[in-house]
Chain A
Amino acid sequence: GQQVMQIPQYQHVQEGEDFTTYCNSSTTLSNIQWYKQRPGGHPVFLIQLVKSGEVKKQKRLTFQFGEAKKNSSLHITATQTTDVGTYFCAGHDYKLSFGAGTTVTVRA
């Protein structure tokens, strides 16, 4: 069955630094979605990527979808304390499968 792997599980970042979280699927995806869950909150949709090689930006966040549509990445520049939370990728073939998430903490 479809598996979505996400690394790293934890990311401790100095405020102002950049980091990247990676997502890999065992199968080719029709699309990939990214969600953010703040501590104590619920997952909130960030973005969806559909096309091979697609790149989308939201302010300091850059999302990429691999050429083979089996991997994706989220890059955050100049990390701020508001970026704290867990970032999930979710790959869609016949159903949506979530990665294990990357939990981000920020050192001021």
Chain B
Amino acid sequence: DTAVSQTPKYLVTQMGNDKSIKCEQNLGHDTMYWYKQDSKKFLKIMFSYNNKELIINETVPNRFSPKSPDKAHLNLHINSLELGDSAVYFCASSQYKQGGKLFFGSGTQLSVL
């Protein structure tokens, strides 16, 4: 059983389109995250939710909107996709305490053409 699963694994789309990435965790964790990994492998946190409350909201364009319907799910919707949005997006979860280790999903490779 996959602990943190995200779909789709690959997403190829045209500029200007709107797309969503879904994430689910079955670890019973109370905190979930979205990270963006660029072509140089740099991992940048985008958002974090604890018990469905947004607790980290880094400098991310308004075109990105996270949504957490419950503790086990965190989705990412992206409007008006741009070329620069091409990257690998990782969902992760942890138990919220200072220093909780992250469990990552397998990633979504987004390619904007």
**Counting CB contacts under 8 A, is A20 at the interface?**
no
A43 with B101: CB separation less than 8 A: no
Interface membership of chain A positions 13-52, coded 1 if the CB is closer than 8 angstroms to chain B and 0 otherwise: 0000000000000000011010101000111110010100
**Counting CB contacts under 8 A, is A65 at the interface?**
no
Q: Is the interface of B mostly helix, strand, loop or mixed?
A: loop
B45 with A86: CB separation less than 8 A: no
For this complex, into which size category does the number of interface residues on chain A fall?
20 to 34
Stretch at the interface among B16-24, B35-43, B78-86: B35-43
A33 with B101: CB separation less than 8 A: yes
**Counting CB contacts under 8 A, is B64 at the interface?**
no
B residues touching A (Cβ–Cβ < 8 Å)? Answer: 40-45, 48, 56, 90, 98-99, 101-107
